[in-house]
Structure 1
């Protein structure tokens, strides 16, 4: 059971830690955020801040502070945080506020088990549907990933990696599958970003991405599914090992 002490390790105010400026910058660069109603706006901003590790694992979020930063009342902010709690992104600690959930081995194992199955099924379904235009998009993403690693831009690589997997889910053409994956996609991205500087350079991921596309081009959906599931499993082992090491040493990830 997660202790309140562990969850509340980072209790500095958002303003004191400089996070208010980071959140303001995030808001200024979120396209189309003004079209949402206030609760939805607060939700998308907080969710993105957690996803991008602006609000890091264990960070305390006070409704009052976040409302001040977002220049809105506490009611829509609380609605947003309650919604994020149902999604497993934050947790309410009585008399303390909301805490960004830590990244735990047990949670990641469960999420990756789902991702392996869903991504494997998605790539098999997509193999039967996509053509040259979609393959060109996937190939371009691979090129961009290789360039990101050449430039030692691991954050950009992580963004492109997330886009690669999201694109395959989209090409599968299943709304229900997309809905299931979307629930866990932020947690996977957050774990990947959290650990990226503490695990091997992800050259193997690019090799595996190429192998997946090759299987798809050969119209071998079963092989594509097998490679995808192996790819997700290997990544899980690397990420969990890195996160366990970080948690044991008490170090914060270097961005």
Structure 2
């Protein structure tokens, strides 16, 4: 009688490898977005592998994903560098944010329910302690949640995807800006005003309020990063 021997297809090993790659990717992405890995900071695979206590292979694969996202730059035989932030990057991103989020706000003004608006009003009260890293992290997330909630109110999945993508690109700017100065007053005041205008059900006023908020945020981030001695901002 023939004995059948189970075949090992390596699925478990592949899963472990994918898990390590995802772990490395999430850890490194968080460090870049939060500013822990500063703009223009240089490093090697070996350094990161040692810090993350894993082999170089999953770190290399994670770095490849971050290079594709534009957060990291690769230099053959030299290593890697966190992509610098330039004034043009900031201006380009916020120009697109003003267009997409202004449109989302104008559409949401006609769609948001009273319950939605009450929830936005509560979200507008988010504050943080600039000296506490976890507090800054929670605030940046709360800020994103506020803007996403308005974009969801537009009832346009493609527009929501665009708003979400550009908010993700702006994340490290929000972190660096919030760490460089106290943005509590300007953010909460602007967010409250946006909610007040949304309650009026006037699309053009809602668009204008969101565009003005985006422009104020842009100028505040530029001033903070240009005056900061610890931020690598390329003019």
Same fold judged by TM-score > 0.5?
Answer: yes
Aligned equivalents of 1:64, 1:130: Cα separation in 2: 50
The reply to whether residue 128 of structure 1 matches residue 110 of structure 2 is yes
When normalised by structure 1's length, the TM-score is 0.72
Larger radius of gyration: 2
CA positional deviation for 1:210 = 1.3
Equivalent positions of 1:100-249 (< 5 A) are 100-145=82-127, 148=128, 155=136, 156-199=138-181, 201-246=183-228
Aligned equivalents of 2:62, 2:100: Cα separation in 1: 27
Distance 1:66 1:181, change over 3 A: farther
CA positional deviation for 1:212 = 1.1
Distance 1:182 1:45, change over 3 A: farther
Maintained 8 Å contact 2:126/2:188 = no
CA positional deviation for 1:77 = 2.1
The match for 1:16 is: none
Aligned equivalents of 2:178, 2:30: Cα separation in 1: 18
The match for 2:32 is: 50
Distance 1:87 1:152, change over 3 A: closer
Instruction: Considering Cα pairs closer than 8 Å and 6+ residues apart, tell me whether 1 or 2 has the greater RCO.
Output: 2
The reply to whether residue 251 of structure 1 matches residue 230 of structure 2 is yes
CA positional deviation for 1:152 = 8.0
Distance 1:37 1:173, change over 3 A: farther
Distance 1:152 1:59, change over 3 A: closer
Aligned equivalents of 1:143, 1:208: Cα separation in 2: 11
Maintained 8 Å contact 1:105/1:244 = no
Maintained 8 Å contact 1:91/1:101 = yes
* Secondary structure, counterpart of 1:98 in structure 2: strand
* 5+ residue gaps, structure 1: 1-33
Q: CA RMSD in A?
A: 2.7
